[in-house]
Amino acid sequence: MKLQRMGHTAICVKDIAQSVAFYQQLGMELAWQDQDWAYLKAGKDGLALLGPDYRGAGPHFGFTFTDREELARHQARLKAAGIVAGEIHDHRDGTASFYSKDLDNNTIEFLYDPAA
């Protein structure tokens, strides 16, 4: 199975509202905003802003799937190969994902995004 697209990068920011305004000035569109995180888009690519109170995954990059079953098959394939693959969990914005690590302990998210 080939990955089709790197969908987003997640970075830590000090202030969600100020950072959203900054990235909107750069030309990005706001797709989702909450108290502790926001998600902006530039075409099909995304930028997640993680505020100081965000308690989910830290900085990471993510690959996007448009089919939830494909996401589950990818998770099973990684586990069978002995690669770290966490459990799939649902997000409050209707997406679902699991996290993994590369050889240098960088976090990778594999994300089901029906809107993609």
Q: What is the CATH number of the domain that holds 51?
A: 3.10.180.10
Cα distance between residue 77 and residue 73, in whole Å: 6
Residue-wise pLDDT tens digits, 43-88: 989 999 999 999 888 999 999 999 999 999 999 999 999 999 999 9
- Judged by DSSP in three states, 16 sits in helix
Please tell me the predicted confidence (pLDDT) of residue 89. 96
Residue 1 within a domain: no
Look at the chain and report how many structural domains it folds into: 1
The span from the CA of 48 to the CA of 32, in Å, is: 9
CB 113 within 8 A of CB 39: no
Question: What's the pLDDT band for 1 if we cut at 50, 70, 90?
Answer: low
Pairing assessment for the beta strands 6-12 and 89-90 based on DSSP bridges: unpaired
Identify the residue whose tokens are 């690519």. 45
What is the span of the domain harbouring residue 89? 6-112
For 9-34, the pLDDT digits (tens) are 999 999 999 999 999 999 999 999 99
Smallest CA-to-CA distance from 10 within 56, 48, 44 is with: 48
Q: Could you tell me which residues are beta bridge partners of residue 108?
A: 61, 100
Within a domain: 16: yes
Q: How far apart are the C-alpha atoms of 107 and 25, rounded to whole Å?
A: 28
